[in-house]
Each structure stands twice: as C-alpha cells, then as structure tokens.
Amino acid sequence: MQQKIIILDFGSQTTQLIGRRVRELDTFCEILPYNKFPVGDESVIGVILSGSPFSVHDPEAFKVDLSQFVGKIPVLGICYGAQFISHSNGGRVEKTNTREYGRAHLQYIDKDNQLFKGFEANSQVWMSHGDSITEIPEGYHCIASTADVKYAAYANDSKPGVWAVQFHPEVFHTVQGVQLLKNFVVDICGSRQDWSAASFVDTTVAELKQQIGNDRVILGLSGGVDSSVAAVLLNKAIGNRLTCIFVDHGMLRKNEFQQVMEDYKVLGLNVIGVDASKKFFADLAGVTDPEQKRKIIGRDFVEVFNTEAKKITDAKWLAQGTIYPDRIESLNITGKVIKSHHNVGGLPKEMNLQLCEPLKWLFKDEVRRVGRQMGMPEHLITRHPFPGPGLAVRILGDITPEKVRILQDADDIYIQGLRNYKVKLSGEEARRVLAAGVPAAMQDGEIEVSLYDQIWQAGAILLSTVRSVGVMGDERTYEHPVALRAVTSTDAMTADWAHLPYDFMAKVSNDIINKVKGVNRVCYDISSKPPSTIEWE
C-alpha cells in the first residue's frame, strides 16, 4: 500500500508549496479541501493543516472536525492550522501588538523534541500572521519561541501526537524548513520515502499499458514540458498507437513550430503538425479586448484540434498533460475570474473519447524530474512556462502578423541572451534554483547557471498601442516600445521581478533596438505578483 500525507487546504497561497516540499522528501501526498479528510483511508500516515487568509475568529473561517484524525495519526498545524488547533482545544488566539510578518529567529528551541531535531540556534523562520497564540491548550507545551511570539511552536506528548508552528516551514526564507518537514514526515509519520521519478515512470508505464490495452490515443501537444513528458510516457507504454497533434496558431516564439517538431522527431513521437495561423489571424483581426482574444484562441484551437482528431477514427482515448496543480480543488475566496485559461479539451461528446492524464499527480518540478529520468533533452525539460494563447497576450491591442513578427524577433534576442549569460549563485538563491530541479553542481558553496535557469518565466511584450519618439542616425523615428518581463517564483501563485544584471540589460536593449525593425525603446517591468499578473493580458 502506498503511504501518503494528507494536506488539508484552508485557502493559503502556499498550500501547494507544502505539497511540493513533502514530495521532495520522496513521499506521496494529496492536497484536499479542509473539509474533505478521507476518513477510513489506511494509507494516510499523517496530516498537515495549512495556513489561511482568515482569522479563526472570522464568522466565515474554515473549520474542520479535528477528531477525524487527532489521536489517530500524527498532525502538524502550520500558521492558521496551528491557531485553529489551539482555538479548538481551549487555547487563546488574539490580535496583539506583537504581530510578525517576514523574517524572525527562533531564540528558544526544544531540541529534544522530534520536530526540531538538527535545528541550529537562532534559526531563521518566516512569519505571516495577524493573530497570535497567547495561550496554548491544556496538555500542550511550548517547543519554540521568537523574540516577540512566545508560542512560535507547541506540541503535546500524546501518541501519535500533535505539533503546531506559527511560521511557514514550506517557504525558502525558513532556512531549516525542509529539515522540520522531514522530521515530521519521515521520523514522526514513518514515511518509507519510496515516491521517486524512477518509481513513478515504472509504475505509470505499467498502469498505462493496463489502462489503454491495444487502444489508440490522441494527445494535444503544446511544445511545453507537461504535454511533452506526457507524450514520452505514453510512447514508452503504447508506442505508435499514440498520435500527437501540434497546432501552430501563428503566435508561438520565433521558429518554435519547426524546432519543436524536430525535437519530437528525435524523441520518436508520432506527431501531426498543423499550421492554422491564417485562421487564427483572421478571427483575431481587430480584436483588442484581452479576454475576448483568449476566448477566440481557445475556441479556434478546439475547432482545429477536433478536425484533426476526427480523422483518427479508431481512437478511444484523449490524453492531456494535466498536472496536479491544475486538478487541486482550490478554495476560491472571492469567486471572481481573473482571466480565462487556455486548455486542450472541448472535444465533442459524440467522439466518445475517454480521458487519460498520466501526469495528474505531479507538480511541475516533478514533471521535469520524470523527463530527465526518461532521458529527454534538457532544453525541453527546462523550458519556461508559456501561455496557451502565446504572444497574443503579450501584444497590447489587436493582433497582426507584422506585430507578431516584431515581437518574435525581440523576444528571441531576449531569451537567447538569458540562456547565454552565466551567473554564480550562493545561499538562499542557490537553494531555490536547485530545488526547482535545475541541474547544477555546487562548488565552494556556489553554483553557476544561466540567467534563463535562474528565473521562472521571461518574455517580451509589445506595446503596440503606444508609439514613442526616437532618433536613429539623423532620422526621427516614431515606433513601438518593447517591455521585458522576468520573474522568480516557485509555483507562479506569487512572483517577484528578477533583478537582472545591468550589463545584461544594456546589451539586450541595444541589440533589440538595433536589430528589430519597428522598435525604438526598451523598458523593464519591475512589478511583482500580486498585484500584477505575470502576463500583461
């Protein structure tokens, strides 16, 4: 029986990050809504309660029946989870004058407690809470404190036990957070640590063979890492009974359609490439509203994909590169749509295709590890996330082939520059990059990687609704500005703008202005998410 940790999500932005950290400990976990604990599931060896945007005193605060698991399996409460456990058992949670946001240090640590095994004195943690636990329940005792928060962590001595921390061990700013989670998952819960890329490949290929049998499968490829890894997995399982469809909507990066088709040929995949750019450009003509552009591209993609899929008359399965974050039942606090997402799907019901999602349990970094396990080319595995609508959501205003050409040229100079520029990293930044799965060897406390590998996502944006005055030679120009965007992130839920070196920025700006006709100004976007999204549209 496969062991697993259950993470109950109370709406925190870092819940998925908790899951990734547990998976990095070679332990399977599931993230479930706070009120859907799987009672009676004997494979569950521990439960983690996440943070939340709510206070425990809010009338709409999420609540769970702790008796479902407390006293039955080990429990770890994080931030709101810690406060909820205290509040539910007779402790006290209050708004105080000693709120903590950001870095703090544990001035007191009970090193005899299993949760803090291996911790160093004055260890740095990351706090993010408005309320604070001012009194813990009877039968519990303090196991860590900061200068301002007495009950930074507390526990009870009952078996199997409850532990609770008011800081966030899942974030990189908590320097020994992974150690704490390992102490809980491995030492306290008893994980066998048998969840790995190699075991996933072996198990999934066997399951796919059994699931699909001799049937034929259709897969929509995007050129991204998720659909590519899914295709290689399926190819290992069923070979040429997999047919992949790669649609070019005309708004991919420069030469991307040809390059990706070559990559897929090297991987031995059976791929149908469809150039549908004329249809997309025609349907987008004159459209300026970002949401409308997304909907048109999504609709056209489905139409083109369906036309090709119907030609494969004996297909019985539709495969998708859906990954775990796409499937997690999120707690939408506001209920508002930020933007429409562009996904494969929408096949007519009369096609009667069953759905196959071989990556449905994986996080993005795990997908990359699986790709490496199967020997896929590194440039495919480390490819940045790219929006389904492509450059259409990086061109402000209406879409034309000429605007796409301008942006493709500028973007290509930018991305190639990021790949060619090497930087040395140490400390927290090096840990973040290595944890994201970037292959780099540590030497004398440093790693050397490209700027491309250091950041999560990058791209150029064409401000086609704006023209700026410039001078080239003795001539006055009146052309478009280009904005460059680069962000660092772990899960794209939040993102910070990347602090790129000045000499790199100067060279890229100069190259774009000199080599891309139609551009006479380059800007850099220094907005973080929130409040700004990663894409401009």
Identified catalytic residue from 87, 129, 168, 249: 168
In degrees, to the nearest 5, what angle opens at C-alpha 262 toward C-alphas 261 and 265?
90
Given its phi and psi angles, is residue 221 left (phi above 0), alpha (psi -120 to 50 degrees) or beta?
A: beta
Structure-block tokens of residue 494: 């939040």
What is the three-class DSSP state of 274?
strand
> Residues with Cβ < 8 Å from 60, sequence gap 6 or more?
54
Confirm whether 79 is a catalytic residue: yes
- Give the C-alpha separation, 34 to 414, whole Å: 43
> With contact defined as beta carbons under 8 Å apart, do 34 and 9 qualify?
yes
The residues that bridge with 470 in the sheet, in sequence order, are 477
Active site residue 168: yes
Structure tokens that stand for 537 in this block? 């549209």
Q: Are strands 124-135 and 92-105 parallel, antiparallel or unpaired?
A: antiparallel
Which phi and psi (to 5°) does residue 188 adopt?
Answer: -85, -50
Quick check: 331 and 10 in contact, CB under 8 A?
A: yes
Contacts of 444 by beta carbon, 8 Å cutoff, 6+ apart: none
Residue for token pair 């001012």: 134
| C-alpha span between 515 and 62 (Å, rounded) | 55
Question: Could you tell me which residues are beta bridge partners of residue 449?
Answer: 423
Cis check: omega of the bond before 530, within 30 degrees of 0: yes
Catalytic residue among 24, 30, 100, 170: 170
Length of the chain (residues): 537
Type and span of the H or E element at 26 = none
| Set 24, 29, 30, 79: catalytic member | 79
Q: Edge-to-edge strands of the sheet including 354-356? A: 271-275, 242-248, 216-221, 315-319, 354-356
SS3 133: strand
The answer to whether 238 and 208 are in contact (CB under 8 A) is: yes
Q: Is 379 a catalytic residue?
A: no
Catalytic residues: 79, 168, 170
